């Protein structure tokens, strides 16, 4: 976890709107190097919109976005292209190209590297496939031949293709059974630690927040209402935050996390 040193993502006064619908207004947020930040919020609060805005896939109406020291909104094309090589994005269900094999999907981001030898690209893709826990033979399969959990792992392998400093994950455990979700949580946590990644993670999964995230940012009232640890969330006096973090599912997630920690300490 980051010691709150260097912010690698800085948002100030961010405004996102679609027609007359304002999703974010005056949103501020810092994400620190090496931390896993979980972003939560009710339906319609713009969690995925925020991720897409930071990753340059959505143009905000106002505000500033600095990522790794670069002003995303004012940078020229060359600077933005260079910056995009330093992050990876995993969308829900992997968002793989159905006509490409898993290996070919992982190789897609590498096409931006001039004169990269095809044999080396293949070896690098196989390494990323292995890193996310997929068997070697999965590289030759098409997305339709994979389970949902395997597609998500393949999507994560593609996000890691260029050895990024930042990884954006959009609902990484959505649709997985509890065992598959727990395994994916541990994969994210292990990779973030071993690779020194900064992870921006949109989720609704309380188990993921407990197992993976160093800090949590709550979206409400068109802004980041509060940031802090899971323990900090328990003392926030806001209706949605109380309902989310004090409900029965939250209690079950807390109990499970405490039991797992007790097991590790023995």
What angle do helix axes 178-195 and 148-159 make, rounded to 10 degrees? 10
pLDDT of residue 113: 87
- Domain containing 221 equals 7-237
Across the chain, which has 266 residues, the per-10-residue mean pLDDT values are 76 96 97 97 94 93 96 92 94 85 96 90 96 95 94 96 96 92 95 96 92 96 95 91 80 58 56
Question: What is the C-alpha end-to-end distance of the chain, expressed in Å?
Answer: 23
Q: Is residue 68 part of a domain?
A: yes
Question: Is the pTM higher than 0.85?
Answer: yes
Q: How many domains does the chain have?
A: 1
Please report the beta strands in 83-175, taking only residues with DSSP state E, as ranges in sequence order.
87-90, 166-170
For 240, phi then psi, to 5°, come to -70, -40
Q: Is residue 244 part of a domain?
A: no
Name beta bridge partners: 263.
none
CA distance 132 to 105: 14
Q: What CATH number has the domain bearing residue 136?
A: 3.40.50.300
Dihedral angle sign, alpha carbons of residues 65, 69, 170, 93: positive
Q: Is residue 258 part of a domain?
A: no
Q: Is residue 30 part of a domain?
A: yes
């Amino acid at each position: 976890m980051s010691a709150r040193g260097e912010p690698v993502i800085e948002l100030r006064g961010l405004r996102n709107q679609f027609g007359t619908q304002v999703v974010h207004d005056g949103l501020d947020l810092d994400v620190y190097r090496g931390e896993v930040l979980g972003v939560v919020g009710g339906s319609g609060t713009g969690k995925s919109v925020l991720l897409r805005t930071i990753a340059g896939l959505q143009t905000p109406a106002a505000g500033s976005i600095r990522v790794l020291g670069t002003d995303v909104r004012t940078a020229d094309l060359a600077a933005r292209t260079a910056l995009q090589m330093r992050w990876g994005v995993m969308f829900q269900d992997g968002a793989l190209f159905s006509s490409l094999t898993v290996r070919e999907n992982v190789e897609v981001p590498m096409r931006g590297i001039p004169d990269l030898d095809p044999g080396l690209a293949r070896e690098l893709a196989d390494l990323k496939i292995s890193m996310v826990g997929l068997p070697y033979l999965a590289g030759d399969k098409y997305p339709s031949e994979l389970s949902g959990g395997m597609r998500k792992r393949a999507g994560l392998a593609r996000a890691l293709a260029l050895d990024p400093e930042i990884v954006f994950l959009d609902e990484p455990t959505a649709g997985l059974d509890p065992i598959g979700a727990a395994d994916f949580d541990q994969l994210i946590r292990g990779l973030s630690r071993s690779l020194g990644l900064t992870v921006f993670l949109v989720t609704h999964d309380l188990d993921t927040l407990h197992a993976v995230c160093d800090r949590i940012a709550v979206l409400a009232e068109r802004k980041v209402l509060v940031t802090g640890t899971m323990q900090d969330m328990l003392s926030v006096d806001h209706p949605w935050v109380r309902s989310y973090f004090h409900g029965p599912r939250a209690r079950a997630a807390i109990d499970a996390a405490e039991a797992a920690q007790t097991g590790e300490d023995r």
